[in-house]
Amino acid sequence: MTDTVQIVLARRPAGDVTADCFREETVDLGAPAEGQILIRSRYLSLDPYMRPRMTELRSYTPPFELDKPLTGGSVGEVVESRNPKFAKGDVVMGMLNWATHTLHDGRGLRRIDPSVAPLSAHLGVLGMPSFTAWYGMKHICKPNAGETVFVSAATGAVGQVAGQLAKLAGARTVGCAGGEEKCAWAVREAGYDACFDHKAERDAGAVLDTLCPQGIDADFENVGGRIFHAVFERMNNFGRIAFCGAISEYQDQTPMAGPTKMFTIVQRRLTIQGFIVSDHVALMGDFVNEVGALVKSGQLKARETVVDGLGKAPSAFMGLLRGENFGKLVVKVA
């Protein structure tokens, strides 16, 4: 018997995610079948992309199933194996259930060396969010020395790395974040030239005119909504926009209209590219070598918020959608 605590999707949200969208259950998973492994979760990653998966709308990932455990990037330890590719004691990373234990066939999992870095780092600065920042900045934004780069959600799991990569490329780097403390950290620790509190500044356009007097050459977009509209109006000729996310719009029941005067794309010869980093896994080795070296040398810093206990995952996730976390948000399961 393997008594497992898991969190399932109890109902699909209409607008804001609320506590009754989740349900905690205790189930007996049983023993692994031939080809399966039993994994004890150690850390669970909470990420904005999970919000669209709670609906039935078409997206780049299938929706979560009602009355089934939600899933997310996780680090765990193999406690029992009937799969020749994995042994008891292996530490693995991949998509696991929001649960204390997951039965898995091993596909999509990879072993990690727990001596390289804290386990939670493999879900953040050495994992998917940082890979996303690296790909979007290096292959889409392509900042040059002397250009101006804007990063929304500048201290989020993705934004904190994206901004530092732009700065290392020699660009003037400006961001926004939710709160004075976050903005202060962005400038003091992450090297941003400026960062404004989007919760306090209602006229984002006026702030951008002050902080980006020469316009914006590249935008790493995580937020969407009014922030993106203001940035779009201030893009320079041949500007590049890496559209990573739009967290400000995920809980809107009525879709927000796009920026006015879309002919700006033609007039200023803009490149706007949406991307999903899972399309670029062939470049993971390049990312690990480059960013891993920056982390090791101390040139790249990262913040994380760790929530203790699987039962707190729903409230932490709702807080993530309100921008309450600082840096990468993970749940310490065990």
Give the model confidence (pLDDT) of 12-26 as tens digits. 999 999 999 999 999
- Which residues are CB-contacts of 155 (< 8 A; sequence separation ≥ 6)? 175, 177, 182, 183, 185, 186, 190, 195, 303, 326, 327
Domains and CATH numbers, the chain: 3-124+303-332 (3.90.180.10), 128-278 (3.40.50.720)
Phi and psi, residue 61, nearest 5°: -130, 150
Question: Taking 90 as the threshold, does the pLDDT of residue 255 lie above it?
Answer: no
Report whether 43 contacts 88 (CB < 8 A): no
Mean pLDDT of 177-201: 96
Dihedral, CA of residue 205, residue 209, residue 214 and residue 220, to nearest 10: -40
pTM value is 0.92
**What's the pLDDT score for residue 1?**
61
Mean pLDDT of 220-247: 96
Cα 100 to chain centroid, rounded = 22
Q: pLDDT tens-digit profile of 87-142?
A: 999 999 999 999 999 999 999 999 999 998 999 999 999 999 999 999 999 999 99
- Which residues are CB-contacts of 212 (< 8 A; sequence separation ≥ 6)? 148, 150, 172, 174, 234
**What's the pLDDT score for residue 167?**
98
**What's the pLDDT score for residue 314?**
98
**What's the pLDDT score for residue 58?**
74
Report whether 39 contacts 96 (CB < 8 A): yes
Please report the sign of the dihedral spanned by the C-alpha atoms of residue 52, residue 286, residue 296, residue 218. Answer: negative
Dihedral, CA of residue 132, residue 283, residue 242 and residue 278, to nearest 10: -60
Mean pLDDT of 31-58: 94
**What's the pLDDT score for residue 171?**
98
Give percent above pLDDT 70 in the chain.
Answer: 100
Using the CB atoms, write b or e for 281-310: b if 16+ within 10 Å.
eebeeebeeebbebbeeeebbbbbbebeeb
Report whether 259 contacts 232 (CB < 8 A): yes
Three-state DSSP class for residue 204? helix
Mean pLDDT of 156-160: 96
